[in-house]
Amino acid sequence: MNDNQSPQPLNLLASLPSETVSPEQIYHLVGEDGLTRLISAFYQQVPQDDILAPMYPEADLAGAERRLRDFLIFRFGGPSHYIEQRGHPRLRMRHALFPIDQSARNRWVSLMEHAIDQAAFPAPVATALRAFFRDVATFLINRA
Ligand code: HEM
């Protein structure tokens, strides 16, 4: 047996994608099922939340859930149904109606982090999701 033929380098290569996951790889790694599970876990918390519940459409939470899920499927490298149905995301414009200050942003992120824990994704995916949501949520702050 020749030591130069050891499988070590191949294993290293195989482990690379799991160390840093980009948003565009997430759909491929967790699939539609994974993202549906995540967004469902997020929306289950919304009706009980004192800051967020008043902002979301009580009568169309299922629609809100579908819009966020379809957006994320698209943003994370999957099919672009969101764009076909809703057009360009324009997230800052679409959130302008909602009073998003630091505490609303923090609450949204905290519900999403709880949902990420519940979804039990592989650690590199969970890390990439946390970074993505924190950044976008900060970008959406529109009130002091
Ligand atoms: C920072 C705190 C946030 C608050 C308070 C907030 C609140 C809301 C509310 C009230 C809606 C309307 C629900 C509906 O009827 O669709 C909405 C829609 C949406 N939000 Fe957020 N959001 C926040 C952060 C985010 C983040 C971080 C993302 C993306 C990563 C996001 C993506 C979306 C999308 C895609 C929609 C649907 C837009 C549409 O097509 O009309 N939101 N958000």
Give CA–CA dist 136/97, Å, rounded.
Answer: 17
CATH for the stretch 23-139? 1.10.490.10
Average pLDDT over residues 114-138: 97
- Minimum-distance ligand 1 atom for the alpha carbon of 100: 5
Q: For 40-87, write each residue's pLDDT tens digit.
A: 999 999 999 999 999 999 999 999 999 999 999 999 999 999 999 999
Give CA–CA dist 51/68, Å, rounded.
Answer: 18
pLDDT of residue 13: 40
Task: Give the binding-site residues of ligand 1, using a 6 Å CB cut-off.
Answer: 52, 55-57, 64, 67-68, 71, 86, 89, 91, 94-95, 98, 100, 104-105, 108, 133, 136-137, 140
Instruction: Judge residue 8's burial from the number of C-beta atoms within 10 Å of its C-beta, 0-12 exposed, 13-18 middle, 19 or more buried.
Output: exposed
Q: Which residue has the tokens 């949520």?
A: 137
Q: How confident is the model at residue 2 (pLDDT cuts 50, 70, 90)?
A: very low
Q: For 3-53, write each residue's pLDDT tens digit.
A: 444 444 444 445 545 479 999 999 999 999 999 999 999 999 999 999 999
Distance 78 CA to ligand 1 centre (A): 19
